Amino acid sequence: MRREVKGSHLFHQLRANIAIMIRLLLSSSLVACLATILSACTSSSHDDFAGQYLEALEEHPGAEADMEAATGRFMAVFENFHDNKLRERVEAAYAPELYFNDTMHTFRDRNTLHAYLQRTAGRIESMEVELLGWSRQSTDLYVRWTMKTRFRILGRESAPRTSGMSHLRLDDAGKIILQQDFWDSSQGFLEHIPVFGGSIRWLRARL
């Protein structure tokens, strides 16, 4: 009986939080603010990302290229995110045709990826990425990193720091043809959106 009462109480709290979020979504100022940030940081589709990743592994078996050099070019893309040489570094690191998924977006060509990174750079104040290490297994390259971003939403500045890993595969020229990121995007971004972030933390604490 006590467990049923507790479950009912959590349900009513969740419903109240959802009602608050709906009311806030009706505010045009919040919608505009979220659209600005989320258009660069979230996916508009409901694709099967896990299935796409498995298919991409079959499509892009990779080559045993110089993985240390490839890691350096990969990190250079994100370590210098805001200067005017982003396209140059993206072209040096990535192949024209590829599979890219950062847990929120999926892209299959370098030009679209560059446009996405360019938009993201314009919507955050800074980003710092630190290489923790890398390892290889046949044609698979695994890069571990930490990332700290700084952005402002609804007048509030946030600077979350997260850790993650990127699974990379390379072509014969040493350019990335597959990238699948593994990281907690809720801690890296979603938890820092006013009201929405609080609801995510509230749910996380009760799982």
The answer to whether residue 39 sits within a structural domain is no
Q: How far apart are CA 25 and CA 82, in angstroms?
A: 31
Task: Give the per-residue pLDDT at 77.
Answer: 96
Task: Give the per-residue pLDDT at 146.
Answer: 95
The answer to whether residue 14 sits within a structural domain is no
Residue 89, phi then psi, degrees to nearest 5 = -70, -35
Task: Give the per-residue pLDDT at 67.
Answer: 97
Task: Give the per-residue pLDDT at 183.
Answer: 86
Task: Give the per-residue pLDDT at 141.
Answer: 98
Task: Give the per-residue pLDDT at 133.
Answer: 97
Task: Give the per-residue pLDDT at 8.
Answer: 62
Evaluate the CA torsion angle 164, 162, 13, 1 in order and state its sign. Answer: positive
For the entire predicted model, the pTM comes to 0.72
Task: Give the per-residue pLDDT at 16.
Answer: 59
Q: For the chain, what is the domain count?
A: 1
Task: Give the per-residue pLDDT at 81.
Answer: 83
Name residue 129's beta-bridge partners. 147
The answer to whether residue 75 sits within a structural domain is yes
Task: Give the per-residue pLDDT at 143.
Answer: 98
Task: Give the per-residue pLDDT at 179.
Answer: 98
Domain range enclosing 174 = 46-193
The answer to whether residue 33 sits within a structural domain is no
Q: How far apart are CA 69 and CA 31, in angstroms?
A: 42
Q: Which residues of the chain have pLDDT under 50?
A: 22, 24-38, 40-45, 188, 191-192, 195, 197
Enumerate the H helices of the chain as residue ranges.
Answer: 2-25, 28-41, 49-59, 67-79, 86-93, 110-123, 185-188, 196-206
The answer to whether residue 81 sits within a structural domain is yes
Task: Give the per-residue pLDDT at 188.
Answer: 44
Q: What is the CATH number of the domain that holds 123?
A: 3.10.450.50
The answer to whether residue 94 sits within a structural domain is yes
Q: How far apart are CA 147 and CA 142, in angstroms?
A: 16
Task: Give the per-residue pLDDT at 190.
Answer: 52
Residue 65 identity = A
Task: Give the per-residue pLDDT at 202.
Answer: 52
The answer to whether residue 95 sits within a structural domain is yes
